[in-house]
């Protein structure tokens, strides 16, 4: 057979083939398959990451940043195990393990619902009822691929760059005290240990008394001291939503006075339900969710668009946390109150921490009142005087809300772990000495008794 000779008229053909192939790959028509997991050969990933992170910002390595221009900007993309993504030599590979036996569907913790869904959608290794193994994640911003595993097995953990502990304390309740010291003993000391805390330390210690003893290198909590902060939203001053010359009357179109929505009626660290019931004796409070009879649909989904819209009709929204811990400010303050145009009546942390985090003069802290009756009288005053009520909305002329990534198990979280693994891990810290842990009024967590409303004095 005559050897092939390149001729001029072949060049356009090559060109066309190359373009077509590239198009097919870029558009996920032709998959580039991830090689199977090679568990035992991955010891040097951390080293490679470290080498790559030294200096060179972009050494000719291409990461296809799919989706980077979508509306979510920097949000990462999930790779598909079935091979959906173009994968031209990513800059680094980071393996993040979540210390859990498995991530089963139906695990009753709200953060996990979405997380499990993401696993389901993006990991071919997920089949209903089976244990989850890994989730491939692209982090364009960090120029890295992240593999998320869910495991307690030492041989898999040992190949990880980072291990996240305490994602589901309830699940690990009895196991933490024995398992953690053992793992620290047998695993590679180069592994970075992350402590995760989305619930308050009061709830955590109620679940697992030993939580304060957990050692970690980096923290992922809602507290401002955390290495990776779990923010539901934040206030951004100097950037008003829109500039209007006319004063808006925020009390217009409000048909209700006070709304409260909760699904946890009993398990709180201060007598929350009793507090609301007492308040209801003086002023009308519509209670949505499991603790009352008012309804929005879908029922119990406090963050369904419909329910948030219902809150727009109220002048006030009770944003009462289940715990008395500084900075433990959950999403409802932002979404059901501030974003919905209702003034939040808050309690959880001390007033000072709310002042630091929420827009100026945007909320009412129950610690400012000597009695529930006095609080009710103040709400009544605002209710009857629109110009007074509108002063709680004045901040809107100067700043805006920025909603964060929520739920906290958004994939972005795992991308944020990447930069920490570039250097050797620092000294271990212990949870009980953290700002997160010390930020509570009392510990360990003990649920409030019904009768305790009589002796309840808000934390100021």
Ligand X SMILES: *[C@@H]1O[C@H](CO)[C@@H](O)[C@H](O)[C@H]1NC(C)=O
Residues that bind ligand X (CB under 6 A): 35, 38, 42-44, 47-48, 51, 89-90, 93, 145, 154-155, 158, 186-188, 297-298, 306, 385, 387-388
Distance in angstroms (rounded) separating the CA atoms of residues 100 and 216:
16
CB of residue 458 to ligand X, shortest distance in Å? 25
Residue 187 or 215 with smaller CB distance to ligand X:
187
Q: What is the closest distance, in whole angstroms, from the C-beta atom of residue 88 to ligand X in the complex? A: 9
Q: Looking at beta carbons only, is 25 or 170 nearer to ligand X?
A: 25
Smallest gap from Cβ 345 to ligand X, in A, equals 19
Angstrom distances, CA of residue 58 to CA of 66, 381, 420: 18, 61, 19
DSSP state of 200: -
Nearest one of 214, 203, 204, 206 to 178, comparing CA atoms: 214
List the one residue out of 209, 433, 200 whose CA is nearest residue 327: 200
Smallest separation (angstroms) from ligand X to the CB of 27: 22
Please, what is the minimum distance in Å from the beta carbon of residue 172 to ligand X?
Answer: 19
Sequence-distant (6+) residues with CB within 8 A of 29 are 23
Residue nearer to ligand X on the CB measure, 65 or 225 = 65
Closer CB to ligand X, 351 or 383, in the complex: 383
Which residue, 241 or 247, has its beta carbon nearer to ligand X? 247
CB of 76 to ligand X, least distance (A): 16
Residues 6+ apart with CB under 8 A from 131: 101, 102, 103, 104, 150
CB proximity list for 281: less than 8 A, separation 6 or greater: none
Q: Return the structure tokens found at 204.
A: 């955590």
Closer to ligand X at the Cβ: 45 or 329?
45
Q: Following DSSP, what letter does each residue of 317-379 receive, concatenated?
A: EEEE-SS-BTT---HHIIIIIGGGT-EEEEESS-HHHHHHHSPTT--EEGGG-SSHHHHHHHH
């Amino acid at each position: 057979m005559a050897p092939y000779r390149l001729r001029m008229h072949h060049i356009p053909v090559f060109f066309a083939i190359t373009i077509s192939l590239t198009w097919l790959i870029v558009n996920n028509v032709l998959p580039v398959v991830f090689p199977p997991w090679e568990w035992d050969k991955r010891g040097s990933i951390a080293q490679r990451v470290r080498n790559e992170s030294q200096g060179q910002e972009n050494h000719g390595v291409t990461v296809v940043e799919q989706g980077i221009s979508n509306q979510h900007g920097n949000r990462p993309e999930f790779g598909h195990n079935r091979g959906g993504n173009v994968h031209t030599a990513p800059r680094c590979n980071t393996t993040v393990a979540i210390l859990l036996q498995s991530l089963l569907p139906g695990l009753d913790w709200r953060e996990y619902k979405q997380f499990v869904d993401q696993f389901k959608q993006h990991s071919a290794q997920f089949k209903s009822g089976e244990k989850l193994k890994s989730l491939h994640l692209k982090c364009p911003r960090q120029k890295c691929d992240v593999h998320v595993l869910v495991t307690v097995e030492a041989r898999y953990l040992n190949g990880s760059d980072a291990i996240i502990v305490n994602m589901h304390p309830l699940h690990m309740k009895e196991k933490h005290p024995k398992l953690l010291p053992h793992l620290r003993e047998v695993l590679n000391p180069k592994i970075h240990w992350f402590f995760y805390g989305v619930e308050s330390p009061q709830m955590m210690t109620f679940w697992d008394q030993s939580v304060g003893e957990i050692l970690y290198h980096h923290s992922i909590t809602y507290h401002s001291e955390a290495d990776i902060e779990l923010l539901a939203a934040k206030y951004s001053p100097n950037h008003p939503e829109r500039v209007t010359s006319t004063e808006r009357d925020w009390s217009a179109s409000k048909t209700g006075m006070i709304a409260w929505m909760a699904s946890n009626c009993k398990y709180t660290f201060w007598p929350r339900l009793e507090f609301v019931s007492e308040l209801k004796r003086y002023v009308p409070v519509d209670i949505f969710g499991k603790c009352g009879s008012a309804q929005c649909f879908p029922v119990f989904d406090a963050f369904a668009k419909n329910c948030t819209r219902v809150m727009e009709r109220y002048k006030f929204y009770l944003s009462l946390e289940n715990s008395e811990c500084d900075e433990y400010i959950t999403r409802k303050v932002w979404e059901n109150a501030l974003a919905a145009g209702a003034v939040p009546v808050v309690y959880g942390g001390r007033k000072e921490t709310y002042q630091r985090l929420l827009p100026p003069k945007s909320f009412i802290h129950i610690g400012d009142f000597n009695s529930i009756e006095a609080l009710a009288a103040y709400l009544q005053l605002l209710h009857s005087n629109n110009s007074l009520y509108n002063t709680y909305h004045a901040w809107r002329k100067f700043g805006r809300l920025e909603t964060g990534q929520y739920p906290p198990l958004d994939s972005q979280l795992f991308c944020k772990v990447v930069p920490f693994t570039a250097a050797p891990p620092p000294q271990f810290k212990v949870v009980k000495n953290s700002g997160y842990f010390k930020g509570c009024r009392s510990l360990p967590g003990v649920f409030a008794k019904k009768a305790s409303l009589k002796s309840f004095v808000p934390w100021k």
